Amino acid sequence: MPHRPYVIDVMISAKTIAARIEELSRAIQEEFADTDKLVVVGLLRGSFVFIADLVREIDMPVEVDFLEASSYGDGMESSREVRILKDIRGQIEGRDVLVVEDIVDTGYTLEHVIHLLESRKPRKLRTIALLDKPTRRETGVRADWIGFEIPDEFVVGYGIDFAQRNRNLPYIGKVRFTDGA
């Protein structure tokens, strides 16, 4: 499939992201100070860079698991139909869980995942999102911690893709199409 030509403008630098992750990790450690091991559940694929950097900053025992949910496919708009493509492997009943999301847009994916994991009776379930687009929200869900609130722009980088491209950028960038369409 040919892609529309585009350029990427830096929106949030790698340095700014790293500083914010340090702040967020301190808040997470305070919230889960009484746990013996935190289960960190990353939502694939977009959160993989964020989760890697975040768990390295959390100074407590962590277990990492992954869940893959999709409501986008290769498009730019949410289908609002959430599918679980890969479930977590471990048990979370009675455990402390932190769900790590790359971006909360309409809210359907995070809302679906929260309901799914809450049904498994964790002791405590909290959520963190690197990016939040509150103007796009169609559900009542909100992450407990947010890295950055951003406007309604199509973004890539730091694990977030456009049709499986640009995940490797060390920053968050805004996609700007150059074909005028």
Which residues does the annotation mark as catalytic?
105
Number of Cβ within 10 Å of residue 134's Cβ equals 14
Kind plus residue range of the DSSP H or E element containing 110: helix 108-118
* Torsion sign across C-alpha atoms 95, 100, 143, 146: positive
Number of Cβ within 10 Å of residue 147's Cβ equals 24
Chain mean position to CA 119? 21
In whole angstroms, what is the distance from residue 135 CA to residue 127 CA?
A: 19
Strand order in the sheet with 124-132: 83-86, 62-70, 38-44, 96-104, 124-132, 145-149
Number of Cβ within 10 Å of residue 21's Cβ equals 19
